[in-house]
């Protein structure tokens, strides 16, 4: 079957907004493959993009943007024969990094042209798909702050994290993993399909994308003096060795809490009340990698 590719362009996404991505693709992608452009013009309306993807009889649909764009496109092609491609234009690029997709755009385009890939797991948090990580606590709080920032990139993410850390208060949670329930105070709880949030910050270094399991990383409260060591462990894929981290694995995770709190899925923030439920969807996504 010959390839037919759609490039979904989010002109408002990522850190490379000055790049004319359509012209870049035209100049650097092979003319031997049929491809179309689908421009996601209105950030609050993805339905028209979804309709074009599903009606286009595409073999590969490429998300051109950051983690939010990747999540939206992947949520359309999940459980179909369509493969997800990624042209990483974001600040974190978590799913791209986790699947060894080059951040060099020309190399990423060549990978899409080759069209080879594999099946990976996905997950569901309440009614939203996610493919990299979802969580509650400090990381969700930062995602909420980062979403309204006018500046993108790792520097903005880092400065927001530092600014918010000293005023943040950990919460109490009731966590159930595959039927086993316990109470805990936590700085954050991340449920990971892939090992990292993005930017090579690994919260679950031993997570695997195709094992049918989700990793639950519960980071307990810690003092400001522990920040450097925790930061080093996150970047060096050793956070699971920290005495402040509880690591679990499971197929179904429920988390209960008081009131309303920010929650994120692939960095996209939402507000939820009192409970969230997460389940794994084994081998549900084709990805070019």
2.60.200.40, 2.60.40.1120, 3.90.730.10, 3.30.1320.10: which CATH number matches 128-280?
A: 2.60.200.40
10 Å CB burial of residue 183 (0-12, 13-18, 19+) is exposed
The alpha-helical segments, DSSP class H, found in the chain are 21-28, 47-55, 67-77, 94-98, 105-114, 138-147, 154-165, 227-235
**Which residues, 6 or more positions from 238, have their beta carbon under 8 angstroms from its beta carbon?**
205, 232
**pLDDT by residue (tens digit) across 113-122?**
999 999 999 9
CATH number assigned to the domain covering 4-115: 3.40.50.10330
**pLDDT by residue (tens digit) across 53-105?**
999 999 999 999 999 999 999 999 999 999 999 999 988 899 999 999 999 99
Provide the CB-side half-sphere exposure for 267 (13 A, CA). 24
**pLDDT by residue (tens digit) across 132-153?**
999 999 999 988 887 666 566 6
State the average pLDDT over residues 180-186.
98
Integer angstrom CA distances of residue 263 from 118, 128, 144, 246? 29, 11, 8, 19
Whether the CB-CB separation of 203 and 195 falls below 8 Å is answered with: yes
Query: What is d(CA 239, CA 205) in angstroms, rounded to the nearest whole number?
Result: 8
DSSP, residue by residue, 154-204: HHHHHHHHHHHHTT---EEEEEEETTEEEEEEESEEEEESSSEEETTEESS
- The answer on pLDDT for 7 being more than 70 is yes
Mean of per-residue pLDDT scores for the chain: 92
For the chain, which residues make up each domain, given as ranges? 4-115, 128-280
> What percentage of the chain carries pLDDT values higher than 90?
82
């Amino acid at each position: 079957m010959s390839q037919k590719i759609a490039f979904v362009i989010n002109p408002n996404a990522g850190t490379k907004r000055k790049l004319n991505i359509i012209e870049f693709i035209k100049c650097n992608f092979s003319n031997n493959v049929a491809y179309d452009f689908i421009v996601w013009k209105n950030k609050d309306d993805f339905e028209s993009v979804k309709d074009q993807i599903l009606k286009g009889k595409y073999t590969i649909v490429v998300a051109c943007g950051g983690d939010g764009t990747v999540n939206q496109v992947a949520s359309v092609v999940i459980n179909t024969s369509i493969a997800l491609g990624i042209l990483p234009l974001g600040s974190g690029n978590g799913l791209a990094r986790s699947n060894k997709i080059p951040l060099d755009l020309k190399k990423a385009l060549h990978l899409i042209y080759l069209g080879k890939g594999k099946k990976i797991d996905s997950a569901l948090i309440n009614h939203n798909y996610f493919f990299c990580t979802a969580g509650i606590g400090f990381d969700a709080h930062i995602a909420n702050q980062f979403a309204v920032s006018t500046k993108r990139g790792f520097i903005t993410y880092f400065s927001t994290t530092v600014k918010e850390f000293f005023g943040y208060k950990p919460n109490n949670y009731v966590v159930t993993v595959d039927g086993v329930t316990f109470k805990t105070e936590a700085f954050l709880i991340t449920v990971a399909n892939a090992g990292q949030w993005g930017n090579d910050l690994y919260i679950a270094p031993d997570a695997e994308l195709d094992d049918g399991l989700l990793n639950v990383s519960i980071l307990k409260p810690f003092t400001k003096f522990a920040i450097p060591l925790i930061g080093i462990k996150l970047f060096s894929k050793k956070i699971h060795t920290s005495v402040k981290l509880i690591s679990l694995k499971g197929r179904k995770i429920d988390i209960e809490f008081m009131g309303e709190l920010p929650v994120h899925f692939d960095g996209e923030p939402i507000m939820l009340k009192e409970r969230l439920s997460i389940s794994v969807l084994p081998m549900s996504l084709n990805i070019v990698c």
